[in-house]
Copies of this chain bind each other. A is one copy, B any other.
Amino acid sequence: MEPFVLRRRGVMLVLSSPSGAGKTTISRRLLERDADLHMSVSVTTRPKRPGEVAGRDYHFTDLTQFELMRNRQELLEWAKVFGNYYGTPRAPVEQALGAGRDVLFDIDWQGTQQLAEHARADLVSVFVLPPSTAELERRLRGRAQDPDEVVAQRMAKAADEMTHYEEYDYIVINRDIEESVEAVQSILGAERRRRHRQIGLNDFVKALREGQ
């Protein structure tokens, strides 16, 4: 009998946060460090911007095609933002999970709620919070000299988004990027070992017991 290596179903890892909490940096570092983790590529009706690569940054499509996908239930979640549509195609996610690869979603609480309706057992959701209002404001102000009222609007939006922490499995307070990346790595490492994600475990234990 060969030493058994767990085959497992992949994890749908959702990172959400109010803008300015540091989620995007955490996502980027996670993807750099973990070869089994891949970013979900959304489909969108918005025009391609300079520097964007079709199939890597987005799948670009027109409204007719988008509505067709939506009506055929081929999207796990979708949203309309500033007149453009964005969605997560179901097929590549399903394929990745089945092959034991994990998929990272950088989406908001509304997208997370839709994913949870379609795939609760696969979903692991993490909400990232800033360590303080002062730190949040510092990050939302950014380098540009934005007018105070623009920063105030961003703060109000962040305050609204924050109330949705209650819908998430895990909470990470982003005091330090490295510490937060390690926290999410632990979460992913643990969730990969959840019993319900293991494939062939029943046969393995049967073989162990029978000494095959």
**Which residues on A are within 8 Å of B, measured CB to CB?**
1-6, 127, 129-137, 155, 159, 162-163, 165-166, 168-173, 175, 182-183, 185-187, 189-191, 193-195, 198, 201, 204-205, 207-212
Contacts and interface: CB of A to CB of B under 8 A. Distances in A.
B171 A193 contact: yes
A129 B127 CA distance: 32
A137 B208 CA distance: 10
Nearest to A160: B209
Contact of A189 (B136, B183, B208, B209): B183
A193 B187 contact: yes
Contacts of A195: 127, 165-166, 168-171
Given A3-B131, A132-B2, A193 B207 contact: no
A139 to B, nearest CB: 13
Contact of A162 (B182, B191, B208): B208
Q: How many copies does the complex hold?
A: 2
5 contacts: A3-B131, A3-B132, A5-B173, A162-B209, A189-B190
Given A2-B132, A3-B135, A183-B189, 10 more contacts: A1-B132, A3-B132, A5-B175, A6-B173, A130-B208, A137-B211, A169-B194, A171-B193, A185-B186, A187-B193
Given A171-B198, A172-B193, A189-B186, A208 B166 contact: no
A193 B1 CA distance: 38
Contact of A133 (B131, B173, B208): B208
A21 to B, nearest CB: 10
Contacts of A209: 133, 159, 162-163
A171 B209 CA distance: 16
Nearest to A136: B208
Nearest to A155: B211
A71 B135 CA distance: 53
A205 B162 contact: yes
Minimum-distance CB pairs A-B, first 3? A186-B189, A190-B190, A159-B209
